[in-house]
Amino acid sequence: VQLQASGGGLVQAGGSLRLSCAASGRTFGTYDMGWFRQAPGKEREFVAAISWSASRTYYAETVKGRFTISRDNAKNTLYLQMNSLKPEDTAVYSCAAKQRTIAALSNKAKDFDFWGQGTQVTVSS
């Protein structure tokens, strides 16, 4: 599967953005999906994940209650709604896919098989 993230930009603290990740192919619904981010000089970190059927979600503590991950399998698209943004949310955000399993959703980048290019999110104070 090929992934293309979009929707990043510059926003003031307290504002909102919605990221999208468009997937190619007809197998999007067979993948668990995730969002990760990487700030300059920092390691990539997990943001959120969603199961293939959208029945399960998983969030990093740093974004829980502010961000919402969702997907539309009919449109082959993954979303990340980001509210109450903070300057520390500034990073390049990337979407990723892994084959669905019955195991718990993963927060580890090494478990994801396919990656899209990132989209820059900058939050000004």
d(CA 59, CA 22): 21
Q: Inform me whether the pLDDT recorded for 25 exceeds 80.
A: no
Alpha carbon distances (Å) from 52 to 11, 83, 101? 30, 24, 9
pLDDT digits 0-9 by tens, 28-52: 999 999 999 999 999 999 999 999 9
Beta bridge pairs of residue 99: 31
3-state helix, strand and coil shares in percent for the chain, rounded to the nearest 5: 10, 50, 40
Alpha carbon distances (Å) from 99 to 10, 11, 22, 32, 102? 33, 33, 17, 6, 10
pLDDT digits 0-9 by tens, 66-124: 999 999 999 999 999 999 999 999 999 999 999 988 888 999 999 999 999 999 999 99
The number of residues making up the chain comes to: 125
